[in-house]
A and B are shown apart, each in its own frame.
Chain A
Amino acid sequence: MVLGNYKNCVSARAADPAILSASQDGGIVTQLFAFALEEGIIDGAIVAGQGDEPYKPEPVVATTVAELMEARGTRYTICPNVSMIKEATRSYGLDKVGIVGTPCQIQAVRKAQLYPMGMRAVPDKIALAIGIFCMENFPYQGLETMVEDLCNVKMESAVKMDIGKGKFSVYTERGAVSQIPLKLTHKFEQGGCHVCLDYVANLADVSTGSVGSPDGWSTVFTRTKAGESIWGKAIEAGYFETKPIEDVKPGLDLVTKLATDKITKNQKTLDERASFGVGKGLRNPYI
């Protein structure tokens, strides 16, 4: 269960150079939502749009490709995408909703479909849930500290941030790269991430992330019938370039390793929580 149930896995990148120009890796999420929008598979998608402050995203309902394009790229901080889910179906009146989220957010979406106590008219309207690989997230102030204090870059002048190869990197508008070892970022992680037992968004229709694929490409898992069918149509329509995952380096082994690491580490946290106090423990959400 480390990689969850999946039907297929490939390495892929968007065929559209405009999307790739500012995407994080292979531009999978933007390109797939753009395809689904154009084909009428979804009426709109909940994505992490630009907020008031640099790199502080806000969830938005994108109903055009232009709005999707504005939301490209990863912001390594919390964006409560699920908070828009009822807004999308009720206020925006979408019948077929796309949503992108971290593994925990996709878990929330699936819970909302199976136990929709407060989610009127949501369960049957999720048409495409894209999950992104996630090790942990940072509160905005944590990210700000990492970028401004540790990397010496103003948030306003950062054009891209990236985590990979054991480093947290910030690219500036003048072409400089500022890097710190990932180890230094650990203390800024959001505490709630440390009980999460999912790295690759097991419950998404399609999940994707850079790990396992070469630079500029993403690893893509199709997991459900819906995900498989939409991905298949997008490939057929020529929206993606793909390579078999077996042919690329570092491949699935690295994904498996990182996923195992996350699950082992967080399972340990969960176990420790059970005896956190003296004769008293903390809550375990997984019952």
Chain B
Amino acid sequence: MGLLSRLKEIFTGNKPEEPEAASEPVTVPEPSAAPKSAAAPEPVTVPEARPEAKPAVKPGDVKVEKKPETQEMEEKPVAEKITIGHVHMSGCTGCLVSLADNYEGLFTLLDNYADLNYCLTLADVRDIPKMDVALVEGSVCINDHHSVEDIKKARENATIVVALGSCAAYGNITRFARGGQWNQPQHEAYVPIGDLINVDLHLPGCPPSKEAIRNVAVMAYLLLRGTDEQKELAAAYLKPLMDLAQRGNEACGCDLIYDVINQGICMGCGTCAAACPVRAITIEGGKPNVDRDLCIKCGACYAQCPRSFFNFDVMNQFEAISEAIDAAMGKGDE
């Protein structure tokens, strides 16, 4: 418990401030900078250690009409942040939308914890740079050499590769792709990224909920930049997701049958049915029944099942951890 109170202390109060070590300034393109300025007021007040080049102009200025001067406002190199890249393979962008669904929480993340240094949709960077965490969305089309090169480059340049969402982790609906798309009819073969590279962590879900992405981002920050105790907590939190990555690159509602029911540990709580994004699971006779015609092989049911993994170390501290994450995101705790 000492660990968590300390963790909370760090998030709420004395944030370790350091002279800015010029990490690469995030170049933000106009289109994404504009909405940012509009929503800026609250999150901007958060960091105390604001470097000198930040006059009080901003709060007064955020009237909606003026957008040209947004260029300079993001140029604040904050030390201690981690770098996160979003690598987009063949997917529907739903996982990115889920990340963006954190709304003001996303700004808190970007202000305090992470620089989004690569993201085709939100940041104007063409080549995959070095980064701490690569969030990879989508599966790899092996008929498209760009995709294959991209995923290899992401692996080379990232410390941690996260399969964000079920397409990257398990293939998901792209398992059912048969090619014939209008302008690229020859694109027909899609594999989860784990078939081509080593993946450190699976975050399944179609898409993973915004809260799950937020938790993993905060924990990744703690793992890379935290104190020893924070690293320990983050490692304990992330371990089951790392184990999922080791478990394999295929998922199906059948996992419930093979690894939970057949193993005699299902107790009929109904979590799988709630987690299924396509309502393929019903509970019959107290056990899940999977409609295999509906199953899209996203693996959410198995990952969410309390009998797939349940780490007492982490779960017993659910209250303190939730509070700490809330504090990290600048909410709760009044």
List residues of chain A with CB under 8 Å of any chain B CB. 1, 5, 59, 77-78, 80-87, 101-102, 104-105, 107-108, 110-124, 137, 139-141, 190-196, 202-203, 224-225, 282-283, 285-287
Contacts and interface: CB of A to CB of B under 8 A. Distances in A.
B209 A104 contact: no
B269 A108 contact: yes
Contact of A111 (B208, B263, B315): B315
A114 B269 contact: no
A256 to B, nearest CB: 18
Contacts of A286: 310-312
Interface in B298-334: 298, 300-301, 303-312, 314-316, 318-319, 321-322
A117 B303 contact: yes
Given A83-B274, A107-B315, A195 B240 contact: no
Contacts of A195: 264-265, 307
Given A114-B315, A118-B298, 9 more contacts: A77-B286, A78-B283, A87-B274, A114-B215, A118-B300, A119-B211, A139-B286, A285-B265, A286-B310
B210 A120 contact: yes
Contact of B275 (A118, A194, A287): A118
A225 B320 CA distance: 10
A56 B87 CA distance: 48
B269 A101 contact: yes
Contacts of A113: 318, 322
B304 A112 contact: yes
Contacts of A82: 269-271, 274
Contacts of B301: 118
A86 B300 CA distance: 13
B284 to A, nearest CB: 10
Given A80-B286, A140-B286, A285-B309, A117 B203 contact: yes
Given A111-B306, A117-B303, A78 B209 contact: no
16 contacts: A84-B274, A87-B274, A107-B306, A114-B322, A117-B212, A118-B276, A119-B209, A120-B211, A124-B211, A137-B267, A137-B268, A139-B285, A141-B285, A191-B264, A194-B264, A286-B310
A81 B272 CA distance: 11
A117 B208 contact: yes
Given A80-B273, A108-B306, A115-B240, A203 B264 contact: no
Contacts of B298: 118
